[in-house]
Chain A
Amino acid sequence: MISKFNKELKTLVKDKVISPELANKIEQYYATKDVGKPNTLFMVFGVFGALLVGAGIILILAHNWDDFSRTIKTILSFAPMVLGHLLVGFSILKEKSNIWKEASGTFLFFSVGACVAMVSQVYNIPGELASYLLTWTVLCLPLVYVLRSHAVALLIILLSAYYAVQVGVWDYRNNQTPWLYVVFLLAIVPHYWNLLKNKILSNTVMIFNWILPASIAVALSAFVGDDTLGFVTYITLFGLLYTLGRLSIFKKLRTLKNGWLIIGSLGTVVSLMIFTFRWIWEELPSEFHYDFQELFVELVLFISAIAVLGYTIFKNGIKAINLFQIAFIIFWIVYFLLPDIGVLPIVLMNLLVFALGISAIKVGVDTFNFGILNYGLLMISILIICRFFDTGMSFVIRGILFVVVGAGFFLTNYVMLKKQLKIKKQVKDTQL
């Protein structure tokens, strides 16, 4: 990085854009700027090292050494955890750098898991995988706040999602709901909020921005049934995620760093796309049998999404809202009020996805963002391809539609590129 930067500086001096003195000053400024700051690369290696060693210990202990006596096995199971305690204690007492705290915290996280696992082995404790994951998460959750460790927070988010899915989906003998997942998630929120307030542009925030909504989307499967009502819950969740991603605190972020927005948007489009088919409406139950829990989860998500939406309107005015944010409300209206009126719901869903595509194209054009522009075009193309499966359109019409959409791709990209070049030229002219 530095050497490339220095090369650029030399080119600037050679082309007489800046003086050699200024180049020297800039070089010195950057050389001394980061002294004393922890190196990100060290942090990544430290955490990954601890992660691998910790996971390795779990695997080695999982071998179940039959030749060792119960006492030796017990001592062996506690040893990594005690070492972890010493390392974490050392980094707190000596006020070591964040690298120390993150790495030792990660190691302790795994050694606690290894210890509980080993004790379960030695005594053949019959607990299901879910109860083991639960004990592990509860024992390590406070580490997030004691060490202010991002790595442990991320591990907890992943582990608790694993716990939720294990209880609610994979364990067919179990008919419980993992409500504790919600508690774990709420327990992480203050840590995340603190990060958002202080380090919104850091890469750590980006990782949280992706892992958190992904964990929530995965864990929701443990709370819903397997009929079409599950889709309603999911569409509501995606609406909520998207609306959260549009909050003003995320405004400074590039779109790719905002997982809330992207997961919310993709989720909404994919789920709504499914409802543009005829068969899914034919499979709707003739009357709704609500399981109390499902209704509760659905309503909580709906009310939260409406609340966040209301807050956005209150803060930024109604004009700040786009179609993606209210797509779930339109879906609720169609799903619950109009499901029996012939083909109307299917037509409305097609129109909704089409309108979402158009609105994405408009946003792309307005902001000169080729990614969003083509995302919108892609939505419309997929919608049209889907309609090939369940409509009796003639081949000529289908062919024409394809040609039109293909031409649309070329034209919109071309026009926008032209426009962008023109603006760049204008800016250059005014500078000269």
Chain B
Amino acid sequence: MKTIHVCIGFVLLALVQLFVPSLMIWEQEDILISGNVYKFKTRPIDPTDPFRGKYITLQYEIDYFPIADTAYRYGDQIKVYIEKDSAGFATVSAISKEPLQTNNDYVEAKVTGNYKNAIHFKLPFDRFYMEETKAYDAEKAYVETNRDTIKNNVYALVYIKEGKSVLKDVIIDGIPIQEYVEK
């Protein structure tokens, strides 16, 4: 192979390598700019990813929808339609495997179980990356805050657009979790 061919091949490859992460960024930025924002009540716990570092896993309060339907099975991909309740928090209005005729936003989720007349699912935005020293503290902070009887004090701020979502921040007692941990 001539050097010029190798060069062209390499330049193309380099462009693809630059393009893929850039596309990821562009998609996320687009959702942050023009998506609708929702608050999801949640609780954080603290695992690790070998390459991407520390994150907290968020367990959402809305992780099931009460209907009796045996058509939903473990691992199915579903659309979870979201609306806001009177306090401004996200609630599930419907779930479906096919798109519904509604103006509500939806997110893609995976069915994790079908029991007690309810379909349980896992929302996609369940990872929030944090500085490695802070992730465990975040879990502790949550436990401590929830000793008080104040509910609704921990929630995730999620931007949603056309089924895609970006988890922007996790808020404890009205301030971002990073700042809360530093307090």
Contacts and interface: CB of A to CB of B under 8 A. Distances in A.
Interface stretch (B33-41, B50-58, B89-97): B50-58
A327 to B, nearest CB: 38
A174 B28 CA distance: 25
Given A89-B10, A92-B10, A117-B52, A124 B134 contact: no
B127 A124 contact: yes
B139 interface: no
B180 to A, nearest CB: 12
Size category of the binding interface on chain A: 35 or more
B24 A64 contact: no
Highest count of chain B CB atoms <10 Å: which of A65, A123, A139, A140: A123
Interface residues of B, number: 41
Given A78-B21, A85-B14, A116-B20, A132 B52 contact: yes
A38 to B, nearest CB: 18
A124 B11 CA distance: 30
B85 interface: no
Given A64-B130, A124-B128, A112 B110 contact: no
Contact of B129 (A64, A132, A135): A64
Contact of B131 (A63, A143, A175): A63
A74 interface: yes
Contacts of A66: 130-131, 134, 178
Given A64-B131, A124-B129, A139-B17, A58 B75 contact: no
A111 to B, nearest CB: 9
A65 B10 contact: no
Interface in A79-102: 81-82, 85, 88-89, 92-93, 95
Nearest to B75: A175
B61 interface: no
Given A62-B132, A63-B132, A139-B20, A95 B167 contact: no
Nearest to A124: B167
A350 to B, nearest CB: 42
B21 A64 contact: no
A126 B20 contact: no
A126 B124 contact: yes
A135 B20 contact: yes
Contacts of A120: 24, 52, 129
B150 interface: no
Interface in B50-75: 50-55, 75
A139 B12 CA distance: 11
A89 B14 contact: yes
Given A78-B18, A89-B14, A124 B166 contact: yes
Contact of B75 (A126, A146, A173): A173
Interface string B1-14: 00100110111011
Given A112-B17, A143-B13, A173-B110, A74 B52 contact: no
B24 to A, nearest CB: 5
A123 B9 contact: no
B139 to A, nearest CB: 15
A176 to B, nearest CB: 9
B127 to A, nearest CB: 5
Contact of A132 (B13, B51, B112): B51
A64 B110 contact: no
A65 B25 CA distance: 18
Contact of B10 (A81, A88, A119): A88
Contacts of A173: 75, 110, 112, 122
Contacts of B168: 124
A113 interface: yes
B49 interface: yes
B37 to A, nearest CB: 15
A50 B69 CA distance: 55
Contacts of B83: none
Contacts of B14: 85, 88-89
B112 A92 contact: no
Nearest to A89: B10
B105 interface: no
A173 B49 CA distance: 16
Q: 9 tightest CB-CB pairs across the interface, nearest first?
A: A62-B53, A123-B28, A121-B129, A124-B167, A66-B131, A117-B52, A64-B131, A85-B14, A119-B21
Interface of A: 58, 61-66, 74, 77-78, 81-82, 85, 88-89, 92-93, 95, 112-113, 115-126, 129, 132, 135, 139-140, 142-143, 145-147, 173-175
Given A64-B132, A66-B130, 18 more contacts: A62-B132, A63-B131, A64-B130, A66-B131, A74-B25, A81-B21, A92-B3, A92-B6, A116-B21, A117-B53, A119-B24, A124-B166, A126-B126, A139-B20, A142-B13, A145-B9, A146-B10, A174-B75
Interface of B: 3, 6-7, 9-11, 13-14, 16-18, 20-21, 24-25, 28, 49-55, 75, 110, 112, 122, 124-132, 134, 166-168, 178
